Homo-oligomer: A and B are copies of this chain.
Amino acid sequence: MGAGVPNADQRLDARDLAILELVQRNADWSHGEIGRQIGLSVSAVNDRIRRMVAAKVIRGWTADLDPGALGLHLLAFVNVLIDRAELIPAFAERIAAYPEVQECHHLAGDWNYILKVRVPTTAALENFISCELKEKLKVSRTATTIVLRSLKDSPALPIMNGGAAR
């Protein structure tokens, strides 16, 4: 056990990719339904999904929720700059714990990080930036961009041959 080599010798063939394409959008379909779509038996679909879960190609199963229905009416991208290098480890360790931070990416460029932040209101955003980022996490500067409308916001990945495929 343990986390030796991450994805040792998994090879994904065209059928695996077809399964992934389906389950990343319709995880509630039965294995029979998936098999019918791609011409595979229930057992074959079952085997392949279990292997891909074991290989961590499939990391888990999630429900896709509507942000608006949960009162999360504001989406913003916040660029973060931290002047003093010694403050970066503490930021990196603590930022992921904020539920309103959906994403945090370390960047190559003018800014240290970009955050994707979901909150109910501008007041909540202001509180997050002022109290959490600047006061507690000692962020030097931020640049916030408000999203007016999301044309696409999907966790689905592009799946094509030529990736880690055979």
Binding site for B on A (CB under 8 A): 6-7, 10, 12, 20, 23-28, 55-72, 75, 77, 92, 95-96, 99-109, 111, 113-114, 118-120, 145-160, 162-165
A93, chain B: closest CB distance, angstroms: 9
Q: Which residues of B contact A145 (CB under 8 A)?
A: 107-109, 111, 114
Most B CB contacts (10 A, CB to CB) among A61, A100, A159 go to A61
Q: How many copies of the shown chain assemble into the complex?
A: 2
Residue contact B148 to A107, C-beta cutoff 8 Å: yes
Q: Which residues of B contact A95 (CB under 8 A)?
A: 151-152
A76 to B165, CA, bound (A): 22
Checking B57, B68, B149 against A106 with a beta-carbon cut-off of 8 angstroms, the contacting residue is B149
Residue contact B66 to A59, C-beta cutoff 8 Å: yes
A33, chain B: closest CB distance, angstroms: 13
A108, chain B: closest CB distance, angstroms: 5
Q: Which residues of B contact A159 (CB under 8 A)?
A: 70, 99
